[in-house]
Chains A and B, each alone.
Chain A
Amino acid sequence: MMTFDSTIFLFAFLPVSFILYYITPARFKSLTLVIVSVFFYAWGGIVHTLLLAAAVFWNYAGGMMVGKRLHQRKRAKNMVMIVIGTDILFLIACTYTGQILRMMGNGLSDSRYFLVPMGISFFMLQNIAYIIDIYREDIIPQQDIVKFSAMIVMYPKIAAGPLVTCTSFAKQLDEPRISPGRCSDGILLFVRGLSKKVILGKSMSMIFETVRSLPDSHMSAVSAWLGCISFALCIYFTFGGYCDMAAGLSWMLGFELPENVNYPFLSTGIMDFWSRWMSTLWKWFCSYVYLPLCGGNPGGVAGFLSLLASWLLIGLWHGLNGTFVIWGIYFAVLLYVEGFVLGERLLRVPKGIRWFFTLILLMISWVFFFSPSVGEAFSYLGLLVAGGAGFLDAGAVGLLTDYGVLWITAVLFSTPLVSLVYEKILRGGRRWQIALNCAVYGALFILCIAGIVSGTGSKAIYF
């Protein structure tokens, strides 16, 4: 598949697709967007593209059919069940088949056809939301298949979101706002995102891999914590960088994507974290699973069970593994305790303390995210508490001192501090400031190319 941090994307797809898009007259821009997006997707294989096309047509037709039956609620509801049921089965089949084959030891699992199609878990959620929104009469079915396709397959967001609401996006599709200013902003945001992913994300994965390669007997508690922190920073820069790139590309295309990642490590609570990290995903599950399930009573037993069900689904949506199930339960419990058991009382705790404990709880959650099995996750948790080589050993000190420059850079860039200071330095727009800005972005781009060309990218879970 094509990723934004690949030579084929940067030096072939990006220039060609933008030239095509810009020279297309306004009324055909959506069509061009669909064509280039399909090409982008087809780079991962034609068969998977056919699956995408099938999903798009099915939901386009499904939307029309639900729309036609809206005056007969029961029939509309049945129609919604059929369309969404098929969507869910399709999603499960595409996502889990390869994994189930692998578990069974079937050789077919190695076939590329059984790889999870790129972005399927994201665009299927969007299809489902579209159908439900029509049923709820929040939107009217999109008559124009080109616009509907553009909404689903638009390439900046197809691989890993963010999830957009159809209402906001349909309007944008009617009149993309392309201007030199927005385009420049988009380009710079794209470069920043690329740098986050390629330079910092890849580098943090070096530390994480180093920690993961240590046998338990050589891992002190501090090393184990450093492993969690490096993973958290790695996934933040990789996914956050990806979201920046997606947003930047969308600006260049004349669209606005909702914010998906916003300095998650500054969160002072778990709810706060989920409004800063993949916020569109939690919003989706809130609107279409949690709130409908719990009805008007989020605090009661039904409320807890709805929360649990939502988070189990979010866990399984990430992958078919016991670790994700536990990860989901973990967050459901935390969110419930935070929201309904501790509630207002938490606000009396100083912010710094809340921030610290939130961070600790988040680091623990990553263990379930990166461990390949439940058993390994729990043994890693044991290392966090007791350590296989004591609390602190030379290895942990070495990890901190050898990678000192990287730790400092990464921590600084995970806060808004750097961008605030940088904006301040640039304020005034004098010549030297322009030159400095050009040099900084030019250097970042060159370093990104270096990272991309030298290969060995870090593999992240979302794409």
Chain B
Amino acid sequence: MEQSQNRKKKKVYTKQVTALVFLGLLFILCVMNLIPGNRGAGKPKLTLEGVLNGGYMEDYGSYLTDRFLGKGMFSGLDFSVKTLFGNRESEGIYRGRGRVLLEKTAAPDNKALEENTAKIKELAAAYYNIPVYVMLVPGAANIQAEKLPPYTAGRDQEKQFNQIREMLGTGVNWVEVSKALRKHDSEQLYYRTDKCWTSLGAFYGYEALAAAMELDASKDRELTPYVVNNDYIGSLAKKSGYGKGYEDSVTIYAPKKTKDDVRVLMTNMDTKKKTATLYDSTKLEKEDKYSLFLGGDAGMTDIKTTADTTDRLLIFKDSYANCLIPFLTPYYREILAVDPSLYDGNIQEIMRKAKFTSILFLYGGNSFVTDTNISKVLELPGKSGSPGIQGGTPETENGADPGGEDGSTDGGSSDAEEDTDSSGEDGGTDEGSSDAEEDTEYGETDDEAE
């Protein structure tokens, strides 16, 4: 009897101590969260309506949660628990088989998609003598679906593409890239931790594009891959929390023979920074190593080349294009890449830049179906709702006087080949550009072209 009472007492004691520990923990967390400080989002605005219907209180609750001390740490802990329990999806990203992260196929924003395709069609109709190409790059979840967890059945991206193709009609040339990639689906077409394709994937994409655009085959070069970095962790890893230790390598392709090399002068039109290479190797030291290609995303990037041609290409693109563009330099004298999400001008301004011979829309499937910027760029200012693009052949002025000025102001030299060869070691700020002589040459050819 006494023993059982004693046991009961001990049990109560255990519970009381535990309850005290809980209260202590609660107290500490309360006090810590009382500490003022600017953490996260701003306080919600107090309104009578909000108090009456409870909206203010709900916002205030979320505000308190958002500014909770150590939120990042707690979220990380929650993530670990879920992962331990077997969760393979986070923020729309799957942890696939074979240490690969795959982005879910996005749900299309139908309204935006309709507007974008309508504007592209208008563009093609207005500039009827300039062929317009649309190339949508499928995601890894589509091409390498076998890497997805077995119980995931995502949206059908092929179906989305077919619909878009139908919406675009016959006036726009569709570049079929899915088939080309599927042929090589066992290769590393995508980064394991990024939604973008690798240079190898982009290479296959370029082959499909070259065939579709009927690029001059005599200019094809034999290319060699160079690995420039081995510890790239892409955006999917950062967003999802998965993929610690899933490092990828970054590769660039350079012509095997020096004589095949095409010199370039790339101008970031946002910052006016000029370089004689398409690769900004300083980015390899930074977190976002994919920015190696074209120095990262910019509203407008102008690339002039020494290619023996008068063709000029206008690309509307997202980051997928960045590692494909280097493959295109032998075929174009100038490539103007516009990222509509970062560019705030309009189509008229763009068309005035040069006499383009082809227009290409190059997007990742997921970003194209959710993009709301393409139609804005293609819209004529002040004419919303009306056809934004004026018909007929564009009266372009030769705004793109390449060489002369550029070269003379920016001395120094370092050509593309050197950059590619020097791989990661190259400091590669490449502020310099091709020498004046070459620049004059550009100018002359250019003038001839006019």
Contacts and interface: CB of A to CB of B under 8 A. Distances in A.
Question: Real complex partners, A and B?
Answer: yes
Interface string B1-28: 0000001011111111111111101110
A460 B13 CA distance: 36
B75 A187 contact: no
A181 B51 CA distance: 39
A395 B71 CA distance: 34
A44 B59 CA distance: 11
B25 A442 contact: yes
Contact of A454 (B18, B75, B86): B75
Interface stretch (A10-18, A239-247, A371-379): A10-18
B57 interface: yes
B44 to A, nearest CB: 12
B105 to A, nearest CB: 12
A316 B21 CA distance: 44
Given A183-B19, A405-B86, A445-B25, A111 B53 contact: yes
Nearest to A439: B21
Contact of A45 (B21, B22, B53, B75): B53
Interface string A202-222: 010010001101110110000
Contacts of B23: 187
Nearest to B15: A184
Contacts of A452: 65
Interface in A21-45: 43-45
Contacts of A2: 57, 61
Given A6-B65, A403-B86, A406-B85, A43 B153 contact: no
B18 to A, nearest CB: 5
A429 B11 contact: yes
Interface stretch (A68-76, A150-158, A354-362, A430-438): A430-438
Nearest to A423: B11
Contacts of B15: 181, 184-185, 188, 437
B153 A214 contact: yes
A203 B54 contact: no
A405 B81 contact: no
Contact of B77 (A211, A409, A450): A450
A396 B19 CA distance: 42
B26 A405 contact: no
A8 B78 contact: no
Interface string B408-424: 00000000000000000
B398 interface: no
- Mostly helix, strand, loop or mixed at chain B's interface? helix
A51 to B, nearest CB: 12
B74 A441 contact: no
A199 interface: yes
B73 to A, nearest CB: 8
A12 B10 contact: no
B64 interface: yes
A433 B7 CA distance: 13
A253 interface: no
Nearest to A437: B18
B26 A438 contact: no
Given A450-B81, A453-B65, A44 B57 contact: yes
A110 B295 CA distance: 46
B167 interface: no
Given A405-B85, A428-B10, A210 B18 contact: no
B144 to A, nearest CB: 16
Indicate the member of A44, A215, A399, A454 with the most B CB atoms within 10 Å: A454
Interface in A409-441: 409, 426-429, 433-434, 437-438, 441
B16 A180 contact: yes
A125 interface: no
A442 B21 CA distance: 7
Indicate the member of B17, B65, B85 with the most A CB atoms within 10 Å: B85
B13 A7 contact: no
Contact of A429 (B7, B51, B60, B71): B7
Nearest to A218: B153
A181 B129 CA distance: 87
B29 interface: yes
A112 interface: yes
A112 B18 contact: no
Given A184-B19, A438-B17, A223 B151 contact: yes
Nearest to B53: A112
A98 to B, nearest CB: 12
B64 A434 contact: no
Given A15-B26, A218-B153, A454-B79, A113 B85 contact: no
Contact of A396 (B13, B88, B151, B152): B151
Contacts of B13: 429, 434
A132 interface: no
B75 A112 contact: no
A185 B12 CA distance: 9
Contacts of A45: 51-55, 57
Nearest to B151: A395
Contacts of A434: 13-14, 17-18
A214 B19 CA distance: 44
B153 A215 contact: yes
Given A8-B61, A434-B13, 8 more contacts: A11-B29, A45-B54, A111-B53, A184-B16, A184-B19, A395-B150, A429-B13, A449-B29
5 closest Cβ contacts across the A-B interface?
A: A429-B10, A45-B54, A398-B150, A184-B19, A403-B86
